[in-house]
């Protein structure tokens, strides 16, 4: 990636992250507090997401300022997307990741939390670790490890959110 395309990427990334950080912050403020249970304000389930949203917003604003100092808007006159960048392997990986994340977000709340979470983790690992040139029998260990990681991660996430943060998962 060239210096000019990096400046443009920083600009676009900072704007997207700032919007996302502000949205996280707003949604965390709207989460229920623990005041009705006579608990500390700091034990509310929205404290950690709110902190993360605030940090994402602050850091992305700093990246936006840096991109603007490096004349990011001037670089957009030459074109928003460098030629040939959409056919690179890294772009394909990013697009696959976005599709998997959107599919996961779409399934959340529609079916029990464990199923899309397990599927997301399992498929994500397989998409990026599976070698299509080798036979499936030679990669049985990868399948087993991916399934084990997906089961353990799903179980740990569910336990942490339901028992520690007292958040009911969909």
Min mean pLDDT across 7-16, 69-78, 111-120, 137-146 is at 69-78
Provide the pLDDT confidence category of residue 4 given band limits of 50, 70 and 90.
low
Whole-angstrom CA distances from 78 to 5, 8, 9, 45, 116 are 10, 11, 14, 46, 42
Instruction: Band the pLDDT of 40: cuts 50, 70, 90.
Output: confident
Q: What is the DSSP letter of 75?
A: H
Residue 1 pLDDT exceeds 60: no
Average pLDDT value for residue range 40-53 = 83
Give yes or no for a contact between 56 and 20, defined as CB atoms under 8 angstroms apart. Answer: yes
Residue of 144, 158, 145 lying closest to 116 (CA atoms): 158
Question: What are the residues whose beta carbons fall under 8 Å from the beta carbon of 9, sequence distance 6 or more?
Answer: 1
Give dist(CA 90, CA 119) in Å, integer: 23
Give the tens place of pLDDT for each residue, 129-170.
988 788 888 888 999 999 999 999 999 999 998 988 788 888
pLDDT at 41: 67
Q: Is 112's pLDDT higher than 70? A: yes
The pTM for the full model equals: 0.63
What's the rounded Cα separation, in Å, for the pair 29 and 33?
A: 9
Residue pLDDT, tens place only, 50-97: 999 999 999 999 999 998 898 887 777 766 565 666 677 888 898 999
pLDDT of amino acid 36: 65
């Amino acid at each position: 990636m060239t210096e000019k395309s990096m400046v443009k990427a920083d600009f676009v990334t900072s704007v997207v992250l700032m919007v996302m950080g502000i949205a996280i912050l707003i949604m965390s403020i709207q989460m229920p507090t623990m005041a009705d249970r006579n608990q500390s304000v700091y034990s509310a389930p929205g404290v950690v997401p709110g902190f993360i949203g605030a940090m994402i917003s602050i850091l992305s604003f700093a990246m936006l300022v840096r991109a603007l100092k490096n004349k990011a808007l001037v670089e957009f006159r030459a074109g928003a997307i460098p030629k040939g960048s959409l056919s690179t392997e890294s772009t394909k990986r990013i697009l696959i990741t976005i599709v998997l994340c959107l599919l996961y977000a779409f399934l959340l709340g529609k079916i029990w939390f464990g199923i899309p979470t397990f599927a997301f983790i399992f498929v994500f690992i397989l998409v990026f670790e599976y070698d299509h040139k080798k036979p499936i029998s030679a990669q049985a260990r990868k399948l087993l490890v991916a399934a084990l990681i997906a089961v353990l991660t799903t179980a740990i996430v569910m336990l942490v959110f339901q028992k520690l943060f007292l958040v009911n998962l969909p």
